Every structure is written in C-alpha cells, then in structure tokens.
Amino acid sequence: MKTLSSIHQISVRFNEVDSLGIVWHGHYISYFEEAREDFGKQFGISYLDIKKEGYAVPIVKTATEHLLPLKYGDVMTVETTFANSRAAKIIFNYTIKNELGEIVCKGETIQVFTTIESGEMMLINPDFFKDWKQKHNLLDG
C-alpha cells in the first residue's frame, strides 16, 4: 500500500528549553502540528483546504513517546506519515530525528471531521476526503 509522508525541519527556539537546555515535552505537540500543516500544504489537505470544504478537523487523540532530548539550537527533522484507515478520521504518525539521525520522539494524532455549519461530527468520510484519498491512491485503506 502506498504511504504518503512529508519531511519538515524545525529549529529549537531558545524559549522552548528549560534551564538545563532541554526542550519541554509539551512543545512536541506544536512540532507535530507544524509538521502536519506542512504535510497539508504539500498534499493539498491543509487547515485552509479543509475549511474551504466546510469542515473542521479537531484533534481527538494525541500520543507522544520521548526517547532523547532536544537542545537549544538543534535542528530536528519531522517525518509526518498519513496512516490510512477506513474510519472517518485523519491519522498521522510522526517521527522526529535529531541531526545525527537518532529518533528523538515518536507520536500520533487523530482528527475527526465536524461540519463548520452545525458542528456535528461525521461518521463517514466527507466526499472531499474520499476524492483526496483517491487522488493519492489511498482508497483501499
């Protein structure tokens, strides 16, 4: 099965580290978001693309696993992979590596579709998302 993934680089900011120079764990949720949005821009499924279709995609689950610290000045590489699924969900997996190529953090986010008009959650995939999957040969997922 085809998988779709993007690579995005992020530099650690000075205010993201504590006094020991280590990135605070909560910032990884931002890194995931930053990388996910970059994926979205590359493959036409960004926040704005989805909004234009009349949907919001709120996060319903996140998971992070921390293996190594990042320090101030480090440049990380985030690989964002679309995890195909039959459910009416958008699932992304993330792998963050440091400059040595070592895995620093792994994670997952799950989003659902809600209509902007009524706020209701979709139980089946919206048409635009099916079209998007088809375009990227992901329909059997």
- Cα gap 33→27, rounded to integer Å: 10
Of 6-14, 82-90, 92-100, 131-139, the window that binds a copy of itself (rule: CB under 8 A) is: 6-14
Among 2, 3, 7, 25, binds a copy of itself (CB under 8 A): 25
In the complex, least distance from residue 61 CB atom to a copy of itself, rounded to whole angstroms: 5
Residue 81, classified by CB atoms within 10 Å of its CB into exposed (0-12), middle (13-18) or buried (19+), is middle
Q: Is 118 in the site for a copy of itself (CB under 8 A)?
A: no
Q: Are 23 and 71 within 8 A, CB to CB?
A: yes
The tokens for 5 are: 């993934």
| Near a copy of itself in 53-72, by CB under 8 A | 58-67, 69, 72
Q: Which residues of 6-38 are buried (b: 16+ CB within 10 A; e: fewer)?
A: bebebebeeebbeeeeebeeebbeebbeebbbb
Enumerate binding residues for a copy of itself (CB under 8 A).
11, 13-15, 18-20, 22, 24-26, 29-30, 33-34, 37, 58-67, 69, 72
